Each structure stands twice: as C-alpha cells, then as structure tokens.
Amino acid sequence: MQPERSNATQTGSAVNYDAGLHAHLQRIYNRMTLGVLVTALTAYFVSMTPALMSLFLTPPIVYVVMFAPLAVVWFGFNPMTMSSQKLQMSFFAISVLYGISFSVIFLAFTGENIARAFFIATGMFAGLSIFGYSTKKNLDGLMSFAIMGVWGVLIMSLLNGFIFKSEGLFDLISAVGILAFAGITAWQTQAMKEMYHPAAGDEANSRMGWSAALTLYISFIALFQHILHFTSQR
C-alpha cells in the first residue's frame, strides 16, 4: 500500500502545482492586459483634450513624455528590492506615461488602422505566448539576440528621428523591432513557467509576476507600434 500512497501523493502534488502555475500565469496576463487598457484609455482621453495635447507636445515637455516611461522602467522598477505593491504602482505609472506618449496616434492614424494593427498584434502575441509555453527548446539564446535587436532599434530610432529622418530606415527599424519583441514575448512566457515555484511564497511570486507583466506589456505595445507603421495610412 505504501507505493500506492506515494504515487497518490505525487499525483496530488503535480495537480496542485499545475493549478498554482495556471493561476500564476493568469494573474500575469490579467495585469498585462489591464496595463494595455490603461494605456489605451489614457491615450484616447489625452487625444480628445486639446489643452493636454498642446501641453504634452510643447518642447521640452514632449521629450520628458517620450523618455519618462524608460526612466521609470530603469530606475523605478526593481523586483529585487521593491515590494509587490510598489511594483504595482510603478507598473501603472508606466502604463499612464505610455498612454500620454501614444495619444498622438489617434490624431495621426485612422480608427480602422489602429484597430487593424491592434488585432494583428493581439493574434501575434497570443501565438508567440503559446509557442513559448509549449516549446521544449531553451529560448535563452533567442533572448540574447532579441535584446541586441531592441538596443539596435532604440539607438537607430533616436538617430533616425533626430538626424537621418529616412522613411526606409524607419521601415527597417520596425521590421527589426517586430522580430526582437516577438523573441522577447516567447522567451518571457517560457521563463514565467520555469521560474514559478509555490515554495517561493506569494510575495516573491507576485514580484516576479509584476516583472513578467511589465516585460509582456512593453513587448505588446512595441509590437502594436511597429505593426501600425506597416499597416496604416498616415
């Protein structure tokens, strides 16, 4: 009877682990989705308020708006030292800041083009997440190339925005951006599954969850932005 009890215990532990993992992943995707919603509502509200648009598009405030999300990500979001509540506040602050900087798209693009890019980005994001969750291949190498691609996109975007101003280079930047953030999405999904452990405790898993939600949020926003570049009439 002892082996049967042992097998039953192992089966019960596996079931509990799977249930905990699924709940953990669901919380991460819910957080990421809520962040996207906050960004969309903020962007729409600002775009519909001429006084705010004039304020945020006036130098030097426009540059503060552009780089504020990156500043918060780099200096105000540290899962190793911050509590889950502080990470939550930083996450939604980033979502609002991205919404302010994205408000211009409602003036520069039609609603149809925005909706098309959003649905394409959503379908791509879902497919990449499924791939990252189900693949047995270690994606750490892919992540290294993706990070290099993101740095390349960031540097070339700044150079092209202020110096070159080449439409062809913008196309190349968007193409590389889609590939880079696609890789990050797949890797992050795999990492979420592998890093979860019930013994870590609710607080540690929650901090890890906010970090993963931010990575997925930024990846989705970037995919949408670069896809919009290719699919719209400006």
String of b and e for 26-40 (b: at least 16 CB within 10 Å)?
ebbbebbeebbebbb
Give the pLDDT of residue 7.
57
For the record, the structure tokens of 192 come out as 């979420």
pLDDT number for residue 199: 85
Which parts of the chain have pLDDT scores under 50?
8, 234
Amino acid identity for residue 129 in this structure: S
Q: What is the pLDDT of residue 9?
A: 54
pLDDT digits (tens, 9 = 90+) for 153-190: 999 998 998 898 888 899 999 999 999 999 999 999 99
Cβ neighbour number for residue 130 with a 10 Å cutoff: 12
User: Which CA distances in Å does 108 have to 54, 60, 231, 233?
Assistant: 15, 21, 13, 9
The label of the residue with tokens 């899962």 reads 79
What pLDDT score does 217 carry?
Answer: 98
Backbone conformation region of residue 124, classed left if phi is above 0, alpha if psi is from -120 to 50, else beta: alpha
Q: How far is CA 82 from CA 86, 94, 98, in A?
A: 6, 16, 22
Cα distance from N-terminal residue to C-terminal residue, the chain? 72
Which pLDDT score is estimated for 152? 94
CB-CB contact of 145 with 186 (8 Å): no
Cα separation, 113 vs 59, in Å, equals: 28
What is the model's pLDDT at position 12? 55
How many CB atoms sit inside 10 A of residue 102's CB? 22
HSE at residue 16, side-chain half, CA atoms within 13 A, is 9
Q: What is the pLDDT at residue 162?
A: 84
| Distance (Å, whole) CA 68 – CA 98 | 9
d(CA 222, CA 194): 24
Q: Do 84 and 27 meet the contact criterion of CB atoms below 8 Å apart?
A: no
Indicate whether this model's pTM tops 0.75. Answer: yes
